[in-house]
Amino acid sequence: MKSQATQIEKGLYILEEAILLERLEKLKPQLDKMRAAYGKIERVDPTGPSYKRIRATVSKLHTDDLQIMYRAEIKWLSYEAGRKLKELGLISGPILIPRKYIK
């Protein structure tokens, strides 16, 4: 039998997921614009100033916003959000990169 604390944690996790999905839906128009803009970029030099700006911007995001960015499947940004979440210990395992980014 699960302990009450475990059941509470599971319930909170489900609530957080629901809130996150709701926020993701509300941000859909902006995320679609970002997806379209970043989707046109074929390559980025990881040592260049543009990529450094992407990393700096993503690093400033709150963890909830990082999770939204990670799930939004926005080329370049989602990977960096996943990297930051992993760095913070909020995800484990490999950072998922959508197949459509890999050619």
Number of folded domains that form the chain: 1
Name residue, tokens 């909830």: 64
Structure-model confidence comparison of residues 72 and 5, the more confident one: 72
| pLDDT higher than threshold 60 for residue 12 | yes
* 13 is a domain residue: no
Q: Report the C-alpha gap between 9 and 18 in whole angstroms.
A: 14
* 66 is a domain residue: yes
pLDDT tens per residue, range 45-70: 888 888 888 888 888 988 988 888 88
**Is the separation of the CB atoms in 64 and 55 below 8 Å?**
no
Instruction: Give the 3-state secondary structure of residue 57.
Output: helix
* 2 is a domain residue: no
**Is the separation of the CB atoms in 82 and 62 below 8 Å?**
no
* 52 is a domain residue: yes
- Residue (of 100, 101, 63) closest to 81 by Cα position: 63
- For residue 37, what are the domain limits? 27-101
* 11 is a domain residue: no
